Amino acid sequence: MDVDTIGVNATLCGIGAETGASILFTPEYSDKAQGSIGELKKASEMMQLCRIRESSPKDLGIDLLYIKEKRRRPDSPLPEKVVTARASKNWRTDPAGPIRIRIVPDRICGNGGLIVAEHEKAAVTGESAKEVMDTLLELELISRLDHAAYLGRELEKAELALRFNRSYAQDDIF
């Protein structure tokens, strides 16, 4: 079946709950079906909660949403010599000034829009994190590498928010 396993497993659990089934089966045969057992477990928890609350499976506080890919690329091997990454404990402001990231969604089409990077000297807009970052660097609005790395992460989150038609707030968990 060329559909998402999450929807199939949720439907299977809904049918199972309505018919009183106590055992459900889902395979994890292909790459896109990986995680189906966990999805089925979470869907069954949702159905149990619906039964207890006597409600529909909506606004339960349990989410059954995952981003998957149809064909998984091969994993890379771990190099022999590695240095374990650690977060820096130091935080310094960029002498070039702060930059505020936000998005302006395209309300007409429902997806896409613009990323806005606001600095005291300029407001840069673009459709991708790369073009906004390239422009910020070209205008010399960033002077520290750690600030550039941080902005790269935030701009990428903003781009994903536009792509998935989600809201975005700088420094928030995506």
Give the model's pLDDT for residue 1. Answer: 61
Asked if 114 and 54 sit in the same domain, the reply is: no
Does residue 3 lie in a domain region? yes
Instruction: Report pLDDT digits (tens) over 82-125.
Output: 999 999 888 899 999 999 999 999 877 767 899 999 999 999 99
Tell me: do 14 and 55 sit in the same domain: yes
Top-confidence residue, 41 or 56: 41
Mark whether 67 and 105 lie in a shared domain: no
Instruction: Tell me: do 67 and 3 sit in the same domain.
Output: yes
Alpha carbon separation from 56 to 6, 14, 18, 136 (Å, rounded): 17, 10, 12, 48
Would you say residue 32 lies in a domain?
yes
The model's pLDDT over 128-158, given as tens digits with 9 standing for 90+, comes to: 999 999 999 999 999 999 999 999 999 999 9
Percentage of residues of the chain with pLDDT beyond 90? 63
Is residue 104 located within the same domain as residue 68? no
**Would residue 50 count as lying in a domain?**
yes
Do 67 and 5 lie in one domain? The reply is yes
Are 125 and 114 spatial neighbours (Cβ–Cβ below 8 Å)?
yes
Does the residue 83 lie in any domain? Answer: no
Residue 28 has pLDDT above 90, yes or no: no
Range of the structural domain that residue 36 is part of: 1-72
**Model pLDDT, residue 30:** 81
The DSSP element (H or E) to which 168 belongs, if any, is none
pTM of the predicted model as reported, rounded to 2 decimal places: 0.73
Q: Which helix (DSSP H) or strand (DSSP E) does residue 32 occupy? A: none
95 within a domain of the structure (yes/no): no
How many structural domains does the chain have?
2
6 and 59 assigned to the same domain: yes
Domain assignment present for 88: no
